[in-house]
Structure 1
């Protein structure tokens, strides 16, 4: 056998041995890779992700609850504002009417006498007053006429305080001008005179007998 043939056989054997070794190494590495791919996330990792998801869900739930509460409060405020606007839309107009009503009442009080002209004026004024009262009643405008009632600082304005015999202290004994309410809200306080308790007489000091 020539040297060339021996070298060729040796080279073939070397290549065959190298292929065998490479194949064995590949077979040894393949199970490790497959095992790594099959393992996936650990239980601890899954628990962390679950906790994060629960936290995020709770945050979203809290936001939803707050949003619903804010919308409900906004709805209630809007409803109250609308109701208030409907109730008190006539407030300024009613206040402007009160001086007209006062003038009519004063004119009626001043119309004294038995002449036909005075009687006609009184009849016309009384009819107008009744019409005022009907309109006020329709729009829930209530008069405050507290004669004989206890003084109420929220609805009455005391013009003076007098000692009145037979009147209970802190009661209204005279009404200069009626007050008015619109749906329970004060348009104008009643101007009144309030009774006060009588002053106690000063007792004479005891006489000391210096000779005793």
Structure 2
């Protein structure tokens, strides 16, 4: 009887030990499984972030590429128009000169002038559609970026460095100087007198040398 009691106690202790080991093993496996899931989740989130960053870079590159292509297209179009407009400018110059010099012996001069003015305005309108605009020069201060000074005229009536007259009009094509204006620029009378005095001093007369 006593032996059976001892066996029952031993069996119970064995069962308790097995159950305890089983629970510990289960907890260990659950813990490892949770860690594995967390690691996989972190890896997946990292891959998603990298993929999202790659997509954003690709989108930015595509936007920049489209902008560059559009800018190059506009620039190419402007360059193509340059040679055409340069040739047409000679026509514009001829019409401008025709309006300045009207023959005295012509009949119905008024109609002739009106016709020329109409042609001139239409041509200006066409060229303006290509982005051409005239450089305003009369009574403006001389600007070497926009003007080409062919003559300097001494005067006391106009401020020095001002444009007195335009020999040939200058033009812009969009924001670029296509052709500078050829102009006459005012020069002070004092500077001319000073230059004359200096020239006389450098070249004395023969009588003075004697």
Please indicate the TM-score interval, normalised by the length of the shorter structure: 0.5 to 0.7
Pair 1:182 & 2:173 matched: yes
Aligned residue in 2 for 1:158: 149
**Aligned counterparts of 2:121 and 2:48: Cα–Cα separation in 1:** 68
Structure of higher CA gyration radius: 1
Instruction: Map Cα deviations across residues 105-148 of structure 1 (whole Å, 9 max, x no partner).
Output: 33454444x21279499635444323323433444432224110
Instruction: Map Cα deviations across residues 136-194 of structure 1 (whole Å, 9 max, x no partner).
Output: 34444322241101223332222344443122233212211101223343221111222
2:135 to 137, 144, 158: 144
**Aligned counterparts of 2:172 and 2:181: Cα–Cα separation in 1:** 10
SS at 1:90 equivalent: helix
Q: Aligned Cα RMSD in Å?
A: 3.8
1:116 to 106, 109, 132: 106
Q: Is the 8 A contact 2:95 2:116 kept in 1?
A: yes
* CA pair 163-96 structure 1, distance change in 2 beyond 3 A: same
Report the more deviating stretch, 121-130 or 71-80.
Answer: 121-130
Aligned residue in 1 for 2:162: 171
Q: Is the 8 A contact 1:111 1:121 kept in 2?
A: no
Unaligned runs of 5+ in 2: 1-17, 195-210
Higher helix proportion (structure 1 or 2): 2
Q: Within 5 Å, which residues of 2 pair with 1:60-71? A: 60-71=51-62
TM-score, length basis structure 2: 0.61
Q: Within 5 Å, which residues of 2 pair with 1:187-198? A: 187-196=178-187, 198=190
Unaligned runs of 5+ in 1: 1-27, 203-212
Q: Is the 8 A contact 1:88 1:182 kept in 2?
A: no
**Aligned counterparts of 2:67 and 2:83: Cα–Cα separation in 1:** 26
TM-score, length basis structure 1: 0.60
Aligned residue in 2 for 1:5: none
Number of aligned pairs?
171
